[in-house]
Amino acid sequence: MKPQDILAAKSSSSSLWIFGYGSLVWRPDFKYKQSKVGYIRGYKRRFWHGDNFHRGNDEFPGRVVTLIPEDDASTWGVAFEVCGAQVKEALEYLNVREAVRGGYVTEVVAFHPDEGGPSVPALLYIATADNPLYLGPAAPEEIGARIAVCEGRTGHNLEYLLRLAAFMRTSCPHVHDQHLFAVEAAALTTVSYLLEAQ
């Protein structure tokens, strides 16, 4: 479902949940009514998408997260509820940030709040393997080494990784995101080699 279709289906009084699992968890940058930590089912988070705008460039694309379908997996993040005029504002902003600059497309999934209660449908941004920026799987060492040296117009790729790992430790301490923490350890190892070599 495209953001404009979602927008067309919404009345000005209705609300929309938007699920973030990457940089949105620490920097949504749009107005919202409330946010909840929680998870979606059926996807794993992987640093398999390339980024030539926010966290890299054409010569050295950064590595950022996308979601890979996997039946038994779940991915933790934050869902933001936007209401009324905030819906249009948020979707227009995210269309540029995620779709135009990042190559992500939208999907709607069930979001499960950590606090319990019913799940809600939530919009998310996902990059698929047919995207020209898609990089695909690699060993954590390779991904971490790339992240340690890439920088884009929004900031360093390492900042993106460390902030996401910090979010998981702080807000989801009961969840061990093995891929994320392995990439973080590899990136920090690369950084210490680079510092020692100076």
23 near ligand SIN (CB under 6 A): yes
Between CA 102 and CA 105 the distance in angstroms is 9
Q: Return the H-helix or E-strand segment holding 148.
A: helix 140-149
47 near ligand SIN (CB under 6 A): no
Q: Return the H-helix or E-strand segment holding 34.
A: strand 34-51
Catalytic residues: 98
According to CB under 6 A, which residues from 49 to 78 bind ligand SIN? 54-55
22 near ligand SIN (CB under 6 A): yes
3 near ligand SIN (CB under 6 A): no
160 near ligand SIN (CB under 6 A): yes
Using CB under 6 A as the binding criterion, the count of chain residues that bind ligand SIN stands at 11
Shortest distance in whole angstroms from residue 95 CB to ligand SIN: 12
What b/e readout covers 87-114, taking b as 16+ CB neighbours within 10 angstroms?
beebbeebbebbbebbbbbbbebebbee
Residue number with CB closer to ligand SIN (24 or 147): 24
Phi, psi (rounded to 5 degrees) for 48? -110, 0
Environment class of residue 5 by beta-carbon count within 10 Å: exposed (0-12), middle (13-18) or buried (19+)? exposed
Shortest distance in whole angstroms from residue 39 CB to ligand SIN: 19
Shortest distance in whole angstroms from residue 160 CB to ligand SIN: 5
Q: Which residues bind ligand SIN (CB under 6 A)?
A: 22-24, 27, 54-55, 97-98, 102, 154, 160
